[in-house]
Each structure stands twice: as C-alpha cells, then as structure tokens.
Amino acid sequence: MNYENFTLENGIRVIHIHSKSEVGHCGIIINTGSRDENEREHGMAHFIEHAIFKGTKKRRAYHILSRLDDVGGEINAYTTKEETTIHTSFLKNDYERAMELISDITFNSTFPCKEITREKEVIIEEINSYKDDPAELIFDDFEELIFKNQPLGKNILGNPKDLRRFTKNDIETFIKKNYHTDQMVVCSTGDVSFKKVTRLARKYFGHIEPNPRKDQRNQINNYIPETKKINKNTHQTHCIIGNVAYNIHDEKKATLTLLDNLLGGPGLNSRLSLLLREKHGLAYHVESNYSPYSDTGVFSVYFGTDKENLDKCIRLIKKEFEQLKNKKLGAVQLKKAKRQLFGQIAINSENNANVMLSIGKSLLLFNKVDNLDKIKAKIEAISIEDIKNVANDILDFDKMSILIYQ
C-alpha cells in the first residue's frame, strides 16, 4: 500500500493511492460528528450531512444528485459520533468532476429554507424507521446508558423536536464552529497520477480560508456500571452487555480488537456464536463489537433470544468471559485467531472504496497510514499474556453495564 500525501496551506490534508482500475473513489473526511453538538444542537451534524445536498451557490438539489449519476457514478455521505464523510465512486475519467462536486457541497452549500424544511421530514421518517428496529436502536440506547448526560451518548439522528427548530443560521454557526480545515482529509484511490491529484486539490480546496481547531473535545471519564430494562413489547428479547474500553490511540487497542474478533466477530466460528447458537441453540444472532473513540471506547456483546432464555444466555456469556480472564489461550488458538483477523483485514483491503476511506481516516487521526505488513506485525506481536491482561481489564463482569429490551 504505497500512498502519497501533502498538506494544503489552509491545513487540509490530501492522500492518494494509485490503483489500476477503471473506477476511482474520492472523499472528504471531517473530524466532526454528533459528539461535537451542544444541548440545543442534538442531531445537527447528521442534519448537515443531508442539508449539504440541497443546493449550493451554483447548483440546485437536482443538479447535485445528477452531477455523478449522469455519468454512472454515485455520491453519498454518512455521519458518526466523531466524523462526517462525503464519498464518491466514478469512472476514472470523471475524477475532476467528483472532486469539484465534493468541494462545492462541502464549502458552498446555501441551505435553502424550503429544501431544508422538506429534508427535516425525511430525517424524521428515518428516525421513526430506526425506532422500529430494536436490534439497531439498542446500540444507541446502550451508549446513552454508559455515557450518560454526555454528547457522546446521544444518538446521531437527533429527535423531531430539535430538528424542526433548526434554522439556516444554526447550520452555518455549527459549521463555522466545528468544520476545521486542519481536521479535514481529502482521500482518493484510482488510476490517476498524484501530480493530477495535487493540482486538482489545490484548485478545488486550496482557496478555502484556514480555520484551525482551537478547542479540544471534553473528555469522558464518568462511567458507572448500570443495568437497565426497557419494555418494548418485542417478540424477542434483545440484550447488550458491555463496558467502556480503550481509546483509538491506546497501545492495547490491537489486543482488544483481536479479542473482540475471537469472541464475537463476523466469523460463524466465533466463541460466542459456537456457544449460544451452535451448542445450545439459544440465539440466532450474537456478536461482539469494539468501537474506539478519540478519548474512550466501547466493548459490547449483543444477542437476541426468547425471554425465557435470557438469564441462561447471560450466565453462559459471563462464563466465557471468566474463561478468557483465568485461562490462557493455547498457542494454536492464538495463531488461528491472528490468522483469521489478518485475513479479514487483507480481504477488506481489496475493496478500493474501503481503502480510500481507511487511509483518509488513518491520516486524519494518526497522520500516517500503516501498510499490511505493519498491521500484520502488530497482530503477530500480541502475546498470550496480552490477551489475558486485556480480558481481565475489559471482561470484568463487575464493570459491565447491561441493557435489555423485553
């Protein structure tokens, strides 16, 4: 993975990987998400992600959507707790068209009142749809439980009451306050030279006024374990068990990533899948997740089961945690776990759209990108003792919070 990068005078960083493909990918990642909202701005970061498509100084909404659609390309965006991302895919000859469009909607959106009023109703429908999916909603409610009264705990979509109150001035104030040029990365992959990428980046992003970040995010450090049950009248009982975990810069992050994949990763042979689904037939779906943030993280196990099986599932999961805390993995088990994790990472790196987003985020957060050899070396360096120590730190049931939909 040979990348090239440089920084514009306004602080925006640019990174590119050349790939021999007829399809190119380009995007911008902004280090601003829902955790950067104040109490009256709940849902604003996600709302802006929608609103930027509704008109610019030279384009109406239809022309924004048609700009890449007309040549078979596509443009999309998403918001997380800490980032806002706009990304495109296109035939390689349309590289400039894509980069110009990204710049236009990021920095020249006009937020027409009629359009944003209509889009509020679209997002409210998105919220209502989300509420109808307990297997998705429970993850947001769990983070609200463990990050109580913190912006990081708020769901990304916001709520109808706050959304309907947002004005064009509110949007522009949030952007000015949070869209910092030194916290932006333009990232791309494709069959185009770095010289051309440099020229186009200067043309479409070089004129943006510098707006460096001055304030740091408030740190999260008030976690208190809690168990909570919510009556949802669902056919199936949904449950999340979890704990705060390492932040994205912690040296133990790689070990927890390996442990998470071993416990409940996407492979059907994960320990929890084999335990709850294959051995006992108690759950159709069980997974574990590790989400690192800039100053904290979340580790959790999710499963759905019949109400009468809930307590048994929790006991079995607790027992599995205790085994990992008290009994060292065998050398063969560890080797297999490492091979599985690295294989998943390597396969994912074959998708150029994923690579584009991955290198952009890596440059944004670490100001560097590790190639597959370095990633493999980090995984190989994890010892049996490392696994046991992290298990004792994170999988301590006394530190766990539990959220149940019943």
Q: What tens digit of pLDDT does each residue of 107-157 get?
A: 999 999 999 999 999 999 999 998 889 999 999 999 999 999 899 999 999
- Report helix, strand or coil for 271: helix
* Residue 221, pLDDT score: 78
Q: Nearest-5° angle of CA 372, CA 378, CA 383?
A: 145
- What CA–CA distance (Å, rounded) separates 49 from 40? 18
CA 97 to chain centre: 27
Question: Where, residue-wise, is CATH 3.30.830.10 in the chain?
Answer: 3-205, 227-405
Instruction: Provide the residue type at 17 as one letter.
Output: I
Q: How many C-beta atoms lie closer than 10 Å to residue 331's C-beta?
A: 9
155: left (phi > 0), else alpha (psi -120 to 50), else beta? Answer: beta
Lowest-pLDDT range, 122-126, 216-220, 252-256, 389-393?
216-220
Task: Give per-residue burial for 95-118: e unless 16+ CB within 10 Å, then b.
Answer: bbbbbebbbbbbbebbbbeebbee
* Residue 163, pLDDT score: 94
* Whether 192 contacts 92, CB under 8 Å: yes
* Whether 266 contacts 344, CB under 8 Å: yes
* Residue 220, pLDDT score: 82
What CATH architecture applies to the domain 227-405?
2-Layer Sandwich (3.30)
Instruction: Provide the residue type at 290 as one letter.
Output: Y
Q: Domain 3-205 - what CATH class? A: alpha beta
Q: What is the pLDDT of residues 69-117, one digit of tens each?
A: 999 999 999 999 999 999 999 999 999 999 999 999 999 999 999 999 9
Query: What are the φ and ψ backbone dihedral angles of 13, each rounded to 5 degrees?
Result: -95, 150
